[in-house]
Structure 1
Amino acid sequence: MSAVMITRKVRKWEKLPGKNTFCCDGRVMMARQKGVFYLTLFLIIGTCALFFAFECPYLAVHLSPTIPVFAALLFLFVMAMLLRTSFSDPGVLPRALPEEATFIEMEIEAANGNVPAGQRPPPRIRNVQINNQIVKLKYCYTCKIFRPPRASHCSICDNCVDRFDHHCPWVGNCVGKRNYRYFYLFTLSLSLLTIYIFTFDIVHVVMRSVNNGFLNTLKETPGTVLEVLVCFFTLWSVVGLTGFHTYLISLNQTTNEDIKGSWSGKNRVQNPYSHKNIIKNCCEVLCGPTYPSVLDRRGLMQEDLLVSAASTAPASSPSSSSSSSTNPVPQTTKTTAPLLPNEHTPDEAKPSIAVSPKEELPPAPKVPPLASPETDVETSIAKDKAH
């Protein structure tokens, strides 16, 4: 057996660590657990489909034709923001290379010195100053890096995310530095769409009840009843989530920081990222620059493959016949004598008979019946003595 080294080019997203899935040759990046994301799509598309099928034809004729037009535009905007949030890189930080991780470990050991046996090593942190305030950078044992300010490691995606807000199963992705504004616009537009559909569902029922009665209207429009129930239970959660993130944006704070109490704990540490102005904070979060991805998911990298090549083996050995199905090896073929009449299987193929090279030769001529091999031998000996 011999090995051959083959080098081929692959996309970097195929070798990225973490628990993410990629589609469209690395252009789409999502979390591996995205079952709830399909439920979100079903609820939004299903509710809007019922609204366009049952309410819009009646309201466009009896109230205003702009109602379905505005609803369609709002629906398209909601879907665009949802897909933009779900399919984008939230701000995943690349892990340290083996050489970089070794260098960081050496720096940490040199700074901490030798720790006596039985004692706990000091925490791996670095201090940086932001707006005249000390911020601690924590070391990630998985990614082998000191996380930037406001970054955190997502346990579901197994990646460090810059300006990590939270992991949202409803969008099937983390919410971080690169897609937070789209997530907020999604929740805001979805709240408006839910209120819009719920309001015109009530208007539709009221207008029909004037002529047909309330109970008859409910029997004639079962889709409207289903829409009202879905919107009623969805409205509180979506509107409440939008209000909570509006409060966080006004303070320039993340959900992760709010849950941990990073800027409102016992130490009374002030938020160094806040501008002390609601308008400035909103402009920074919603109107700031769009940061490029640092992963280079569709970049090319070389991968070395070790391919084993099988050497030639004799055809009569049983191992060669078993390996011929996996590794193509050259084989030698043997020529045998033509089959006799009424003979179906050659002797060498029969399992009870041992095959030797001598049996492949044509048969020797038969001895006459009057002579035998013993008399021929005695005659030759007598001639030798006479000479």
Structure 2
Amino acid sequence: MEAEKRRRALGFARAGLLPVFFGGFMNLVFERERYDKERIQGKNRIFFWGRTLAGGDWWKNLYTLLLLIGTSVMYAVVPEVWLTNNFPPVGITFIVLTKILVTMAISAWILSALTDPGIIPRNEAPPEDLPEVIPSGHVAVKDVVINDVDVQLSYCRESVPRLDFSFFFWILHNAKSNWRAGTCKIWRPPRSSHCRVCDNCVEIFDHHCQWLGNCVGSRNYGAFFLFVLHTQLLSLFTLAGSIAYLVLFTNQTAEERDVSGSQAFSIILSESPAAVGLVSAIICFLVILMFGPLLAVHTRLLLTNKTTKEHLTKKIWADGKPYDDEQGWKHCKTVLCSERRESTMWKSYQPTEVDPEAEDTLLELGTDEKAPAKDEEDVEITVEDEKDVEITVDDENNVEDAVDSTEPFEHHSADLSTTLQPTPP
């Protein structure tokens, strides 16, 4: 029981719920673990002598940190000082609230932007059960059973990027390379996905956050949610303090100089640093407009145990969910208050040994219970294209075709000849 209490308390501290512990700074200064550079084969970057791990576009998180700290400093040096000198109860109240929230926000930012989101280790070679030839535009799918639920696992292979500026760099980089080069070479577990920006598969992939420059996955989703929550609350209180400063300062100037409110407002903008308070108010208002809907969406996703990708793609588990489907407050407590599992990118990480007689056995995400493996005759490797046309190859080298399958994981059998084409160079 004591160990469980300590684990919960550490989870609260590292999540940024207890600002006195400075959870994010503890992770940078006191974290004993170090990330292994040799294990990270994608575009993620390691900083601070292996203490932090950032995403493929890591520089974007610097803009977020600059905006967060810059706005807080502007508010502290002008509106906060004036309110404390002229209206001490109001000023002190805003000082306490804003300083706690900015500490929480920065701690959550560190834990979400500078940590492993849940990167899945790559295989050095493709799995043995992968088809030798996969046509261009197709993806290999493997049918397995996890927690008595039939699940299709997709094989991670390189895909053509979107038609943007990076498309031409992709052509130059892959002109002389095999399509298998640069992939994770794994059967992706349920709810995981490959991030094009970071070039890694992430466990329970939610999305790649432009505010953090990092993926949001199983290890940092709680910190990401707290970062959005604390930033929204900080913006609300900073906006309220800035408006209170502008209104009270304007009224005071109008009474002292016996002018109208609009004239007094023009005077304080021209003769005092009140413009700094106005700028901080405008910035906070814009942040509230952006983070408000984001917080509302992720609050709903957190309560319903869904990811952003599942919400946008309307993912449906036809045969049941292969993971523990916690809902409501129970799932919130698990995500926000539990200690994060160890990172597979740490130098001290040791992969779990799997029984060689049960190579197809998979571990459910977030549990230690193994699901029974399928017999070799029940495991199918499917190659499907982007138009929901599936070509299934069984162990007897028979080929089945499922055309226009609208229900997930439902197959319609028909005798066809093999239509697989050689892999393009």
TM-score normalised per structure 2: 0.60
Alignment of 1:230-379 (within 5 A): 230-263=283-316, 273=323, 275=325, 277-297=327-347
Tell me the residue number matched to 2:140. Answer: 123
Alignment check: 8 A CA contact 2:146 2:322 kept: no
Q: Deviations over 1:241-274 (max 9, x none)?
A: 11110010011000111111103xxx86765657
Alignment check: 8 A CA contact 2:111 2:223 kept: yes
Tell me the residue number matched to 2:112. Answer: 85
1:76 aligns with 2:103: yes
Given candidates 265, 268, 281, the residue that maps to 1:214 is 265
Tell me the residue number matched to 1:182. Answer: 223
Identical positions, percent: 31
Q: Deviations over 1:183-206 (max 9, x none)?
A: 000000000000000011111111
Counterpart-to-counterpart distance in 1, 2:136 and 2:88: 77
Alignment check: 8 A CA contact 2:342 2:349 kept: no
- The aligned amino acid for 1:20 is N
Tell me the residue number matched to 1:225. Answer: 278
Report the CA distance shift for 1:17/1:233 in structure 2 as closer, same or farther (over 3 A): same
Counterpart-to-counterpart distance in 1, 2:76 and 2:124: 53
Given candidates 129, 144, 150, the residue that maps to 1:134 is 150
Report the CA distance shift for 1:19/1:197 in structure 2 as closer, same or farther (over 3 A): same
Q: Deviations over 1:83-114 (max 9, x none)?
A: 1111101110111133xx3xx23x245xxxx9
Counterpart-to-counterpart distance in 1, 2:63 and 2:153: 37
Aligned residues: 277
Alignment check: 8 A CA contact 1:34 1:172 kept: yes
Q: CA RMSD in A?
A: 2.9
Report the CA distance shift for 1:122/1:163 in structure 2 as closer, same or farther (over 3 A): closer
Counterpart-to-counterpart distance in 2, 1:118 and 1:49: 56
Counterpart-to-counterpart distance in 1, 2:309 and 2:334: 18
Once the two structures are overlaid, the 10-residue window that deviates more, 120-129 or 242-251, is 120-129
Give unpaired runs (5+ residues) of structure 2: 1-34, 158-182, 254-263, 351-425
Alignment check: 8 A CA contact 1:48 1:75 kept: yes
Counterpart-to-counterpart distance in 1, 2:227 and 2:239: 18
Counterpart-to-counterpart distance in 2, 1:119 and 1:199: 56
By how many angstroms is 1:235 displaced? 0.8
Alignment of 1:22-171 (within 5 A): 22-61=46-85, 62-64=87-89, 65-98=92-125, 101=126, 104-105=127-128, 107-109=129-131, 123-130=140-147, 133-141=149-157, 142-171=183-212
Q: Deviations over 1:151-171 (max 9, x none)?
A: 111111110100111111211
Give unpaired runs (5+ residues) of structure 1: 1-10, 301-387
Alignment check: 8 A CA contact 1:12 1:299 kept: no
Tell me the residue number matched to 2:377. Answer: none
- The aligned amino acid for 2:79 is E
Q: Deviations over 1:303-356 (max 9, x none)?
A: xxxxxxxxxxxxxxxxxxxxxxxxxxxxxxxxxxxxxxxxxxxxxxxxxxxxxx
Report the CA distance shift for 1:82/1:89 in structure 2 as closer, same or farther (over 3 A): same
Counterpart-to-counterpart distance in 1, 2:137 and 2:121: 29
By how many angstroms is 1:74 displaced? 1.3
Report the CA distance shift for 1:135/1:224 in structure 2 as closer, same or farther (over 3 A): same
By how many angstroms is 1:135 displaced? 2.6
